[in-house]
Every structure is written in structure tokens, then in C-alpha cells.
Amino acid sequence: MRWIVTGGAGYIGAHVVALLRARGDAVTVLDDLSTGQAHRVGDAQLVRCDLKERDATRAAFLAARPEAVIHFAAKKQVGESVAEPLLYYHENVGGLVSVLEAMRASECRRIVFSSSAATYGVPPVEVVDEDTPCAPINPYGATKLIGEWLLADAARAYGLSTVALRYFNVAGADEGRKLADPFALNLVPIVLAAHAAGRPVRVFGTDWETRDGTCVRDYIHVVDLAEAHLAAAEKIDGVAKGRVYNVGCGRGFTVLEVIAAAERVIGQPIRREHAPRRAGDPPALVARAERIERELGWRAQRVSIDDIVGSAFRAR
């Protein structure tokens, strides 16, 4: 099968590219390399392309003639999205419009979209399913929700097959391929980087109503997440138009439990300091991930937090 993977030089995208290449599929990666790294695409074809340049994007699609697209390329920092909302709407919504136009021009009918649990905002329940109301609390989450709407509208109008995957907290790495997250922007890489630098980890909030006072999140191994994309692409023609799926494990760990896992993996104590609650953090956010298992036959396999944190540590 022939694929275009936008953002395939990034953390999650590169894991999907590796799985597709391992089974012999033809993959063209479109990436502007603003945060992606060329070496991460391995032997896939890399086209340096800014999706906001619509003519260049269309030309890349016409050259590659993909049968399916997996669309990762986007901005994903919550804080930055609050400070620079126009950048996020341009990149995340404008980029998707450009991809959908290029799909029409090249008669490509299938797209798997990278969405986020950020679409839920601060939900009233700890365990969220896809029918939990979406109420994003920052521009990043808003652009992902708009992306889902855009896909659903395009699916109905143009007969496309679309799936949006709402990721929970992605962590870990394919150790063999050394595809660790190169940035320390999320808890697991932050803990590993802080320890390596001899700095304490700041724990945002220790007085939440959770089992140890710190926030609970549903950490999912990036290789499991990559496999979810392949499952989605395989079944995409048979699912309802504009379908969305949670992609998580259905269980959560606290910040202190993640730090404890890192201590077991590294074999050394990790210093931490208490910090105030971070604005916009829900106390607990865990996926109900039954729809994706029922409809796409995917279920997370690498659910041990020690395996997730350990893979990130060993892949550095």
C-alpha cells in the first residue's frame, strides 16, 4: 500500500513510519522539519514540505499518489497555543485543510487524523468515553476538535473515509530503533532529563483528590499507539463517517507513580520538589477505550508503566 505520513519525522509519526516500512509499504513523509528530524524517517521517502504551502502540498500528493494518509503534522504545546493561538489555528486547522484539498486533487480517500484527549478539556468524570462532551480549554485542544469536525464534514461531502484518534498520554519508545521523544515537554521525558541533569522534578500539585494527591493520567506506549493507527487504517472503510476513538489503556498512574517507575528503571532515587497546581490540569484523565477494541480490534499490549518508562530510558 502507498502512504503519505505528514509529520513522519516527529516522535509519534516516526514510530508509524517504521511499522509501515517494516511490512514493506511505500511511505512518503511530508515534514517541514521544524521539530521533526530527517534521520527518524529511516528509508522512507522524505519530502520537506510546509503544509501551509498548498501548491507544494498538492504537488507532493500528486507525485506520491497515496492510497491513505496519516496526518500527524501539527503544533502540540498547550502553553504555546495559549500564547500564540493564531499560529495554532494556521498550522493545525490550515494544515488539515491543505491536506484535504491535496487528497481531493490526488483522489486519495482515506485519512487517519491525530487528535487528542485535550478535546475533552477538564471533564466532569475521571474515565471518559467518546460520548463525554468535548469542551477544550486551550487553543491546542480547540484546533484538534475543529479538525475532527472538518474531517466529519469532508467525509460526508466528499465520500472520504476518516478516523480521528484521541491520544491520551503518549510515552515510551521503540528501543531498537532509538526513536525516543527528543524533547522534554511531557512528564516521562521531563523526569528522565531532570534526573540526567541532576535537577529535581517539579510535581505540579500534591493536594488533588487522588490516591496520593498528584494527577492521574492514562500513559500509553507509543508503539501501541502506532499500531492503533494501522488498525484504524485497515478498518477505515467500514466505520461510520467521521468516527472518533479514544486511544489509551483504560487505567491511570499518578505523577508520583511515574517517578517511582523511573526510579526502578534507573535504579537510583529521583529528586522531586512540590510545585503549585498547574493551570488547566484535570486531576484525573483516563480513557475508556472499548470502542476502538470493539470496532477496530485494537487493544494496548504494553500497559506496564515500568515498560513504558523503561523503553524511554533505554532508547535515549
Using CB under 6 A, list all residues that contact ligand UFG: 76, 78, 116-118, 140-141, 169, 186-187, 190, 202-204, 215, 217, 255, 278, 281, 285
The answer to whether 117 and 168 are in contact (CB under 8 A) is yes
CB of 10 to ligand UFG, least distance (A): 13
Following CA atoms 15, 186, 184, 70 in sequence, which dihedral angle do they give, to the nearest 10 degrees?
30
167 is catalytic: no
Least distance (Å) between residue 138 CB and ligand UFG? 8
CB-wise, 109 or 217, nearer to ligand UFG?
217
Task: Give me the numbers of helices (H) and strands (E) for the chain, helices first please.
Answer: 11, 15
State the Cα–Cα distance between residues 252 and 218, nearest whole angstrom. 4
Residue placing its CB nearer to ligand UFG in the complex, 134 or 154: 134
Which residue lies nearer to ligand UFG by CB, 160 or 258? 258
Q: In terms of CB distance, is 68 or 215 closer to ligand UFG?
A: 215
Annotated catalytic residue within 88, 120, 140, 219:
140
Report d(CA 11, CA 21) in Å as an integer. Answer: 16
CB of residue 299 to ligand UFG, shortest distance in Å:
21
Rounded distance between C-alpha atoms, residue 134 and residue 67, angstroms? 31
Q: How far is the CB of 267 from ligand UFG (least distance, A)?
A: 22
Kindly list the catalytic residues.
140
